[in-house]
Structure formats: structure tokens, C-alpha cells
Amino acid sequence: MADLTKITCLDDLQRIARRKVPKMFYDYADSGAWTESTYRANQEDFQKIKFRQRVAVDIENRNLRSKMLGHDVTMPVALAPTGSTGMQHPDGEILAARAAEKFGVPFCLSTMSICSIEDIAAHTSAPFWFQQYIMRDRDFNERLIDRAKAANCSALVVTLDLQVLGQRHKDIKNGLSAPPKPTIPNLLNLALKPEWVWKMSRTQRRTFGNIVGHAKGVDDLSSLSSWTAQQFDPSLNWNDIEWIKNRWGGKLVLKGILDPEDARLAKETGADAIVVSNHGGRQLDGASSSIAMLPSIIDAIGTEGPEVWLDSGIRSGQDVLRAIALGAKGTMIGRAFLYALGAYGEQGVTKILEIIRNELDITLGFCGQTDINKVTADILLPAQR
């Protein structure tokens, strides 16, 4: 076991991940679309929101426990669905799911995961969430939903903001594809990552486990690339949500909401939760940050609508508290746990959750609060509300 006592923040874990993870996969996580202006704004806009420090308040018994979709969570944070997680660290989705389960926060598996739905179900006992991209092959979509049901997934998270793929310059320059291109620079870089290569050689999970062997005509890596290039469905629209909701029959979360009008439409579909998200700045460059759009989306939803969560740009427990103060009922972290996973596997994911919990707890106290469920915008300076 690694000694992580000197790891104090996400930046520490990110530096270690950059050293350990092959460049093409590290860059896949650490990148945005086009100029990356929205990717940067996601983080920068959080830092503009300032807290009110309060003193001489009894803050001895602080509570971070909350609920997301009616389930008890140790803090209002979930691990977001992230593609190719098992390339940051071998068996990465399994390791992250186990860390989340032990910590008491939700884990959401991506359609584009390396480990399959069945892999996660076999290695965890707590219900997890499944995120679905809607593909042109509707039969595949139906079978994917049915597989999530069979695995006892407790929520279906439908991502709405990837009807077409944003242009990510680092991925293009690195030749990242499915499967990755064995270019000379990539091969040379792999030679500098012996720990990653050794661990990857010890697992059979090196492809998209939810697709290969399940989609028609996709039986190996050679047939995967053309299938994925053709399958994201640009015709996806609100009428499809009703079909998905009926087929699924359980808790439904709509991810990728960044506009008040879309939030109202999501409410009309009967979604149980929405995620205010710009896909981590990886889709529409030039879009607003998620945290900047949160207040207007909260207003559009009203008090009787679905739960509103937020992702994109969260790097600390302070960011979580900012989102909660502005009205979110939960948050999701993506890159934060990916860096931690790449650095130290399951132990790293546990460490970043501990760091976020500690930052959230201490900041809650400094703001004179003792219960995360009672936090309002009053903990922020007036100009930030």
C-alpha cells in the first residue's frame, strides 16, 4: 500500500497521474474541446464565488450526510460516468466502484467503460447507476437497458449532450481511437510507463466491455472503431426520452442540461434528477460554465421539480459546497477521481473522496454551518449569490 499521508489535494494526485498514465489516456481525461475555454471556465468560475466567514458559532457537531435520489450518501457527491476509465488504471471502473461503495457515495458506470455492467455487478454489492448514450441501433439500446436492469442498477443516467462528438485536439494529435493507434510516439511513451503496462498485461479488460460482444457485428477491437464512429445518434430528441423512461421503468436522470428552457423540458418528461453539465468542457467550447448556469436552471425548475445536480469543474470540497449553496442537491466528480485512480488505483479514489470530505467539512464549519442539508446562498458573499 502506498503512503498517501503527504497527499493533501487534487493537484498532488494529478501530478502523479500525469507521470504514471500513458500520455494518450491522461490527455483524454485532461482535455477540453477546441480552445478549452469552457474547460477552463468551469474551474475559474468556481473560484470567483467567495464565502462568508462566520465566527463564535457552535460548529462542534457537523453533518455532511444527505440523500441523492432518495438514497443515503455520506456526502452529496457521486462518481460521474467517464469513458475509458479502465485505461487510466487497469480494471479502473471496478476499483472506483469499490471505493465509492466503501465510502458511501454513488458510482455511475459509463456506456463507454472498459469494464462491463456485469463486471461491476460481480465485484460490488451496492446498487450502482448506469449512464447510457443513445445509439442509432435501437435494439442495442434496449438490450443495454435490460442489462442494467438485470444488474440491479438503481438509476439510469441518459446523457443528452453527445449527439455529435466535440473536437478534442489532444486526442487527435495523440491518435486516440478505438483501438488506440500504435504510433511510434505512443509506443515510446508506453515504454516509459512500466507499472501501467505490467498491470494492464494482467487483466483481460482492455476494450469497451459494454459494446464488444453485445453490439451486432462488433466482436473484436478491429470492428469497434467503425461501429462507434457511426453510432452516436444526432436525431435524439425529447420524444425519445419518453420511450427510454418507459423501457427503463426506474429512476431516470438526464445529464447535460445547460439552459433553463431545456431544464423545463426535462421537468416535463418526469425526470427524477437532472445534471447541470457541459460534459466537462469537452463538447461545446464557448458554452457557459456549469456553475454559472446553475442559479437560472434552479429558478426554471422550481421547488416541485426533479433534483438538480451539477458536474464539470469540481476539484475540491469547497466547490461542492459552492454548488450546494447555489441550490444543487448533489454533485458529480469526473476528472477528480480519474486523476486519483491513475495515481493510486482504488486507494487513490478513496483518498480523493477523503480529501473532498475534509475540505467540505472544514469549510462548512468556517461558514458557521453544521448541516449540509440546511446550507443556502447566505453562506456566500452577496455579490456571489
Mean pLDDT for all residues in the chain: 95
pLDDT value of residue 249: 97
Domain residue limits, the chain = 10-380
Using the predicted structure, report yes or no on whether residue 384 has a pLDDT greater than 70. Answer: no
Catalytic residue check, 123: no
Question: Pairing mode, if any, of strands 66-68 and 273-276?
Answer: unpaired
297 marked as binding residue: no
Q: Which of 123, 169, 214, 279 is catalytic?
A: 279
Angstrom distance (rounded) from CA 103 to CA 315: 18
Using the predicted structure, report yes or no on whether residue 229 has a pLDDT greater than 90. Answer: no
Q: Which of 235, 234, 210, 205 is nearest to 224 (CA)?
A: 210
312 marked as binding residue: yes
Q: Which of 206, 194, 71 is nearest to 126 (CA)?
A: 71
pLDDT value of residue 385: 64
**Confidence at 383, pLDDT banded by 50, 70, 90:** confident
Residue that is written with C-alpha cell 455487478 in the block: 121
Residues 6+ apart with CB under 8 A from 15: none
Using the predicted structure, report yes or no on whether residue 168 has a pLDDT greater than 70. Answer: yes
**Percent above pLDDT 90 for the chain:** 88
DSSP 34: T
225 marked as binding residue: no
Model confidence pLDDT, tens digit, residues 179-205: 677 788 999 999 999 999 999 999 999
- CA distances to 17, 94, 366 from 341, in Å: 8, 11, 30
168 marked as binding residue: yes
> String of b and e for 343-370 (b: at least 16 CB within 10 Å)?
bbbbebbbbbbebbbebbbebbebbbbb
282 marked as binding residue: yes
Angstrom distance (rounded) from CA 153 to CA 190: 35
Model confidence pLDDT, tens digit, residues 53-75: 999 999 999 999 999 999 999 99
256 marked as binding residue: no
When pLDDT is averaged across residues 126-147 and rounded to a whole number, the result is 95
Using the predicted structure, report yes or no on whether residue 137 has a pLDDT greater than 70. Answer: yes
Q: Of 311 and 182, which is predicted with more confidence?
A: 311
CATH class (in words) of the domain with range 10-380: alpha beta
DSSP 305: S
List residues bridging with 309 in a β-sheet: 275, 330
Angstrom distance (rounded) from CA 51 to CA 350: 27
- pTM beyond 0.95: the answer is yes
Asked if the peptide bond before residue 179 counts as cis, ω within 30 degrees of 0, the response is yes
Using the predicted structure, report yes or no on whether residue 307 has a pLDDT greater than 80. Answer: yes
Angstrom distance (rounded) from CA 68 to CA 80: 13
Starting at the earlier edge strand, list the strands of the sheet with 129-132. 77-79, 330-333, 307-310, 273-276, 251-257, 155-159, 129-132, 108-109
Model confidence pLDDT, tens digit, residues 271-285: 999 999 999 999 999
pLDDT value of residue 219: 80
pLDDT value of residue 183: 85
DSSP 214: T
Using the predicted structure, report yes or no on whether residue 177 has a pLDDT greater than 80. Answer: no
